[in-house]
Structure 1
Amino acid sequence: MTPAPDERDRIRAAGHRILTGCPERSNGALTIVALAVESDVPRNALTQHHTDLKNQFYEQIRTRGDAPDSEKRLRKQIAKLKELRASDAAEVQQLKADVEALVGALHLAQLENQQLRGLSRPGTIRMLPTPVPPPQQRE
């Protein structure tokens, strides 16, 4: 399919409208999708046929000191993932400390168990007599 003769002009005009904050058809987002909607061309026309215009659009966004919406979303996601990674690392450190404490407690319990077993000698344990119930409770 060959592009329409005025397609490049429509893309340039749409990019200008988006960058000046006066979109007519799109939501004005700084994305290729918005540029395609604004210029009334398929998105793949920008990603396959008019890559120079797509790159020019992104370059104009960057020279304004702005970033494309997709880049902003990715930066937010990266920041969130870094926070999650840091909290996970702190949790791992806490779990390692807990494991060390539990191993120490288990070791201490094993030593106490060995000591207690060493105290009991065969023949020294006596059974206490069981109490005999009073006569009124016998049947």
Structure 2
Amino acid sequence: MTLSHNTSSNEEERQAVLSAITRIHDGRAERSNGAHTVVALATESGITRQRLYEHHSDLLNDFKATAGATSVGPNIKALQRQLAQTGERNQQLAAENALLRSKIRTLSAVITELTLDSTNVDAVVAMPRNRLRG
């Protein structure tokens, strides 16, 4: 019975470590600072570092191998800032575009009205030539 209990306990610990690794990699740490370190993993999983090294070294080695690959925080933050700035610029350009389209519609209406008025001979008032010569 003791062997069964130990196996069950070991599986529960493995699940706790795997869950902690996932949370840390996903940036959703609940119990630790979320750093990609063994200390943070131990805190996040609730398992001592010694136990991690002694009983879950395979998981610990996998975590260490992927920790360097996933800790690109500064790059992600820079890209997030750039994305936010690009989104703001896109909104500015969309507003400017809407304003320019509105102006184009207004100017098109004015041009159409002026064109119609200039083809109506009765609406055109001719200036006397004598007055211009003075």
TM-score normalised by the shorter chain: which range applies?
Answer: 0.3 to 0.5
Give me the TM-score of the superposition, normalised by structure 1: 0.43
Greater Rg by CA: 1
Q: Indicate the structure with greater helix content.
A: 2
TM-score norm. by structure 2 comes to: 0.44
